[in-house]
Chains A and B, each alone.
Chain A
Amino acid sequence: MKARAIYVLVVLVGIVYSLGTVYKAYPIVASFGIIGSMLLEVALIALAAAMFDEISDGTVQMYLAAGLSRLEYVVSWFLVAVVYPAAGITAAMLVPALVVDPATIAMPIVPYTIGGFTPSLLIIAIATCIQILNNVTVALALGLKYKSKGIAYLVLAFLAFLMPLVLSMIVSFLGALAGDYYRYYSLYLLMLPFNPLYSLTIFSSSSPIRLSLTTILSVPAVVALVFFLLALYITRRELEV
């Protein structure tokens, strides 16, 4: 049931992205990239928390008793709650552009120019994909470690909302105290492993800390992979149901 809800949700969000791309409403695509992905992540965790409910109420035992392995069960949830939404949203952004005008994909989205950096639709799509993969994977992996959906909610809220908000406030506050806004800018590096969409705007060419696109995209991708492997390790070694 929850898996079906995830399917419907991704289709609906995907339609918004697709329309934005088809009508070249890139500001919508770009801003929706950040806000939309945050909201989507929250919804995904809320739905994927069904995994923790199934573990605590014993439903998982019925699946395992049928012959599934613990790994197959957990990986299925990751496919439904992480891989499918990330791939679906990325496709929703890129496929319409490919159909309408393939050149659009590599063109900078001019209205999205922030700090002298103008990412293309392709970069925005990849960053959105990695952000979903990263945040939901980290939240699910840590939730799995403690068999707690509360932990998963908390981690997701922290990564998607609290960390960017709190860091901005701290950097601004400390910068104001020091009379130099950029003095504590390096604190934003804490976001690099988890928030590629934010990192795109923060570590752009005009910021005091400039990072390459490869760094901005590959670090959170590697972190997502590490947390996915951690989830597999936890499942194999210590997940009791």
Chain B
Amino acid sequence: MHSMSEPVVFENVTKIFWGSKRVVRALDNASFKIPSKTVAGLLGPNGSGKTTSFKLVMGFLKPSSGKVSVFGVDPWVRGESVRRRIGYLPEKPVYPDVPVYRYLRYVAKVRNASEEDVSRIVRLVGLSGYVWMNTRGLSRGYLQRLGLAQALIGDPELLLLDEPTANLDPLSRREILELIKDLKKELGITIVIATHILPELQEVVDYLLYINRGRVVESGMLEELATRYYVDAYYYIEVEEPRKLASRLVVEDYVRGVEIRDKSLVVRINAAFKEELLRVLSLPEYSIGIRRVEMLTSELGELYEKLSGSSR
């Protein structure tokens, strides 16, 4: 039995697709865990095994070998009970050509959710003006909102978003990202986002899993990886006198940038120098006014490059 603090656990999972012309090893002895209540980024180039991983979590595919455990059970065997606890937005969702509201009501009925839930989620994702339109009449941006809406019905404990902003125009992409950020803040559930577009993960993820050619190259909390791979990270410091602290920090040669925001600072440093930063912050003249220090994010692009380099 796995700990409930890790809703998704892969143990030596291999998935092989036997085609008529070639055999594809989509996942190769992959082992990883997704910690609870994190926003995890599933990174990797196209064809690396991200979608296959999601399909294994959903119980759509059966592992060729190894063990997949979701909420402590095998999703292939007890798929429906697992799926009722998961919200899933596939990479290329295909919806029945019916009015949006009818489709969402159907999903709600299967998931034992109420009409009120449907209305609340429709408002949350900004679909209110489109509920009587047929799904085929929606633009790509609104189709993604519909995808998020159907995934959120029934208050899922785990949200799987497969390339949620793929093929969207910049405005729609921004809107969907804001929506995901809101979901992170409001719902506090485990979210896994598979993507190969890095900037969209920058502001939301706190756990990272990098897959390449079906193999898990690296996984861990973003801060931990940033430190391990010496990439730049942004630290948020809530402080009584931000200007005073900023003037002290800018003279440190490892500090690459300081931004003052009202009663806080955002400091950019190479994550390897985190201890140095903490040492300065612990000095008596600064430590008194400091209320909170946390890593906001790290340079995912840089981290991605280093991870890609290490997996070649």
* Residues in B neighbouring A99, C-beta threshold 8 A: none
| Residues of B63-90 contacting chain A, CB below 8 A | 79-80, 83-84, 86-88, 90
Closest residue of chain A to B88 (Cβ to Cβ) is A65
The one of A66, A72, A238, A241 in contact with B60, judged by C-beta atoms closer than 8 angstroms, is A241
* Residues in A neighbouring B97, C-beta threshold 8 A: 1
Instruction: Kindly count the residue-residue contacts between A and B in the assembled complex, taking CB atoms under 8 Å apart.
Output: 63
The one of B84, B94, B150 in contact with A59, judged by C-beta atoms closer than 8 angstroms, is B94
* Residues in B neighbouring A176, C-beta threshold 8 A: none
CA distance A66 to B90 in the complex (A): 12
CA distance A139 to B72 in the complex (A): 38
Is the pair B79, A64 in contact by a Cβ cutoff of 8 Å? yes
The count of chain A contact residues (Cβ–Cβ below 8 Å) is: 17
CA distance A64 to B55 in the complex (A): 11
CA distance A44 to B276 in the complex (A): 73
Is the pair A59, B96 in contact by a Cβ cutoff of 8 Å? yes
Is the pair A66, B93 in contact by a Cβ cutoff of 8 Å? no
CA distance A193 to B20 in the complex (A): 32
Whether a CB of chain B sits under 8 angstroms from the CB of A58 is yes
Whether a CB of chain B sits under 8 angstroms from the CB of A67 is yes
The one of A66, A70, A240 in contact with B110, judged by C-beta atoms closer than 8 angstroms, is A66
Q: A66-B110, A67-B110, A67-B154 are in contact. Are A58 and B83 (CB under 8 A)?
A: no
* Residues in A neighbouring B153, C-beta threshold 8 A: 66
Closest residue of chain A to B78 (Cβ to Cβ) is A69
| Residues of A28-59 contacting chain B, CB below 8 A | 57-59
* Residues in A neighbouring B154, C-beta threshold 8 A: 67
Whether a CB of chain A sits under 8 angstroms from the CB of B111 is yes
Whether a CB of chain B sits under 8 angstroms from the CB of A61 is yes
* Residues in A neighbouring B60, C-beta threshold 8 A: 61, 64, 240-241
CB distance from A17 to the nearest CB of B (A): 31
CA distance A64 to B110 in the complex (A): 10
* Residues in A neighbouring B86, C-beta threshold 8 A: 65
CA distance A59 to B84 in the complex (A): 17
Chain A residues within CB distance 8 Å of chain B = 1, 57-59, 61-62, 64-70, 72, 238, 240-241
- CB-based closest 3 A-B pairs: A69-B80, A65-B88, A67-B84
Q: Besides the contacts A67-B154, A70-B79, A238-B62, what 20 more A-B pairs have beta carbons closer than 8 Å?
A: A1-B96, A58-B93, A61-B58, A61-B88, A61-B93, A62-B93, A64-B58, A64-B83, A65-B83, A65-B86, A65-B87, A65-B150, A65-B151, A66-B83, A66-B153, A67-B80, A69-B79, A241-B55, A241-B60, A241-B61
Q: Could you give 16 example pairs across A and B, Cβ below 8 Å?
A: A59-B94, A61-B55, A62-B90, A62-B93, A62-B95, A65-B83, A65-B87, A65-B90, A65-B151, A67-B83, A67-B110, A67-B111, A68-B110, A240-B60, A241-B55, A241-B61
Chain B residues within CB distance 8 Å of chain A = 55, 58-62, 79-80, 83-84, 86-88, 90, 92-97, 106-107, 110-111, 150-151, 153-154
